[in-house]
Chain A
Amino acid sequence: MNLFQAVNDAMSIALTTDSTAVVFGEDVSFGGVFRATSGLAEQFGKDRVFNTPLTEQGIAGFAVGMASVGHTAIAEIQFADYIFPAFDQIVNEAAKYRYRSGNLFNVGGMTVRSPCSAVGHGGLYHSQNPEGFFAHCPGIKVVTPRSPIQAKGLLLASIRDRNPVIFFEPKVLYRAAVEEVPIGDYELPLGKAEVLKRGTDVTIVGYGSQIYALENAIQLAEKRLPGISCELIDLRTILPMDIETVVASVKKTGRLVIAHEAPKTAGVAAELSASVMEHCFLNLEAPIQRVCGWDTPFPLAFEHFYLPNMVRCYDAIKTAVEY
């Protein structure tokens, strides 16, 4: 399966195993602009997989309402770039629903899926990584997978988690990433990072499609800097963040490189970097390196120069180990 097929498979299982589950958003009925919902309306009926009017705040509010009476709402925002009209519903409503009602009500059945990240030619409004905005919001979970296996397991866990979840799908991987995905029903844990590669000299943290740039950078580093051993961690859940796994790794390696596509200032790397500094002050042997998008809007023609690509990640690893 590729990533969009894995996402589709997860939703199909969710719809099969939960009779209150519905899937909706803009253009999901004919299969979605990325084919993630293809075949679902035919299989489960137009009452359970349906198009909404073109209104992101409406889609999020509708999901909050369904979940508030105990149903499972899987809403799609067509591009993460267009989630901002729903920011109020997500931040002020969904995230605070349980807390403000003294747990009389909750919207744990709500999941918002949205394609994110660079795609080669997306320009300003088909490339964004808004996870940092949501990472500042207590009450929601923010999850992003790196591969089809991860996407299916994390999405099923997100749908079934008893908290509202924002699930960002790196759209460049929809067709590019292909692997053998178990056809059964399985979940991967939220709030847990995964160590993808063990190493001893430098900890490298990323998430989503950035993992691939990091893997390439690590290969280059281990080739060009003989004897260097890198530990690679996929954060998977941005909020709540698994600081513990990263801290344990940095205590061992003494060095940390964090990379994400979103702009650097006040990004997720800033939070992680501050937390690691608090916990690993005596272990750090080099300044923490943050390799991020520049603090600009995401540009069309300059994408290659904007991205924290393999070269920039490699350079940061080199800086950390040679400091």
Chain B
Amino acid sequence: MDHSGNLLNETEHPGLDKDQVLNLYQKMIQLNVMDGIMYDAQRQGRISFYMTHYGEEALIGIAAALDSEDVVFGQYREAYMFLYRGLTVDECVSQCFGNELDMNKGRQMPVHYGSKKYNFQTISSPLATQIPQAAGSAYALKMAGNRNISVCFFGEGAASEGDFHAGLNMAATLSCPVIFICRNNGYAISTPSSEQYKGDGIASRGLGYGIDTIRIDGNDIWACYNATKKAREIAVTSNKPVLIEAMTYRAGHHSTSDDSTKYRNKKEVADIIQNDNPITRLRHYIENHGWWSQEDEDACRKQARKTVLDSFASAEKKKKPALENLFTDVYDELTPNLEAQKKELRELIAKYPEYYPTDEFKSSI
């Protein structure tokens, strides 16, 4: 699809109907609006941290091409996968607040989402660790014979970690049905890709591991969809890994702890947002089909905003999780040592209540 939303080659028509396409577009808008509000909330000190998806929203096309039982391993900039599968804005916002509804029980930083129901393994901060894990889970899925695969996202920076090498080589040698998706957005925090590698991107490495590989326009939702659809077919039918390198651009800062104007030109960013924006590209497509109008756009954005603000208002008022969650789930059961330490904290709180804000928590220990 070109920048005006016209398909360049009709034989590669994605074949999604109006409802499916509009659903994808609305989810992109929802994510974009949530990113804006949560980013600002962090600036105001109301949540501790946030990471936006600006410029990478078209990767939601990957979600649409998968089976809902396929197991996803992410890096951290893949909330479109969650929203597509059905995780609510409420659940995302609660996680960012670390309140009593946080799926992680208040233990991880914001945007480290996870969902058992939607087969998305909980995000962790150490980069690339999920790559060999995705290979292992794919091997297990193959053994179980249920024809599901694993899908693993990572950035081009993470691909420099040893775990990238380990994961791709293991997936190839052990015939694991897994799709590796590299989001090559040009930057790893401040490091441009020219300081990340000297070869032909990440895709060229796939061939060295004996992995079927494709490089796609990551700002084109239909390229994302079609490549994933085909990759999934290869993975399922021949128990082989596939590598997709999606070329995109990180239009936002790396995170709320980063000011990207320190290392890249504002004009470069503005030009890309203006000329190669994944959201406007899909908008042109739906407008070209007569499926969308300015009124629809306004209503959609207004609703998206209301959804986030409602969640935000309710999440902010909620208490933090029960304090006992500090000690549970380290192991399946509390060890005698942890029981003793829990007791020690309980006694400390009783002794120095003015130094422990227990009323902010759902319950004390």
Partner-B contacts on A (CB < 8 A): 20, 22, 47-48, 50, 52-53, 55, 57-58, 60-71, 73, 85, 88-89, 92-93, 96-106, 108, 138-139, 141, 162-163, 191, 240-241, 243-244
Contacts and interface: CB of A to CB of B under 8 A. Distances in A.
B131 interface: yes
Contacts of B140: 20, 65-66, 69-71
Interface of B: 71, 73, 102-105, 107-108, 112, 114-116, 121-122, 124, 126, 129, 131-141, 143-144, 150, 162-163, 165-167, 169-170, 173-174, 325, 328-332, 335-337
A309 B116 CA distance: 51
Contact of B162 (A71, A85, A138): A85
Contact of A61 (B121, B129, B328): B129
26 contacts: A52-B170, A57-B132, A61-B133, A61-B135, A61-B163, A62-B133, A64-B136, A65-B135, A69-B140, A70-B140, A85-B162, A88-B129, A99-B107, A99-B329, A100-B104, A100-B122, A100-B124, A102-B103, A102-B114, A102-B329, A104-B104, A105-B121, A163-B332, A191-B336, A240-B331, A240-B337
Contact of A88 (B104, B126, B336): B126
Nearest to B170: A58
Contacts of A61: 129, 131-133, 135-136, 163, 166-167
A191 B333 CA distance: 12
A59 to B, nearest CB: 8
B174 A52 contact: yes
Contacts of B173: 52-53
Q: Which of B129, B133, B134, B139 has the most CB of A within 10 A?
A: B133
Nearest to A164: B331
Nearest to A191: B335
B269 to A, nearest CB: 32
A279 to B, nearest CB: 10
Contact of A138 (B108, B139, B328, B330): B330
A99 B136 CA distance: 21
Contact of B331 (A104, A139, A241): A139
Given A55-B169, A138-B330, A65 B126 contact: no
B324 to A, nearest CB: 13
Nearest to A138: B330
Contacts, number: 157
Nearest to B334: A240
B129 A89 contact: yes
A139 B330 contact: yes
B114 A104 contact: yes
Given A55-B166, A89-B132, A62 B104 contact: no
B143 A102 contact: no
Nearest to A106: B332
Nearest to B141: A69
Q: Which of A65, A69, A92 has the most CB of B within 10 A?
A: A65
Given A88-B126, A102-B329, A63 B107 contact: no
B335 A58 contact: no
Contact of A98 (B131, B133, B139, B330): B330
Given A63-B136, A101-B114, A57 B329 contact: no
Contacts of A103: 105, 328-329
Nearest to B132: A61
B332 A98 contact: yes
B136 A73 contact: yes
Q: Which of A57, A106, A138 has the most CB of B within 10 A?
A: A57
B132 A58 contact: yes
B132 A68 contact: no
Given A62-B136, A101-B114, 5 more contacts: A48-B143, A92-B126, A100-B122, A102-B122, A103-B329
Nearest to B71: A69
A57 B163 contact: yes
Contacts of B332: 98, 106, 108, 162-163
Contact of A50 (B121, B122, B174): B174
Nearest to B162: A57
Q: Lowest 10 CB-CB distances: which A-B pairs, in order?
A: A65-B136, A61-B132, A58-B166, A65-B133, A101-B122, A62-B136, A65-B137, A102-B105, A240-B335, A71-B140
Nearest to A108: B332
A241 B139 CA distance: 34
Contacts of B325: 102
Contact of A93 (B129, B167, B328): B129
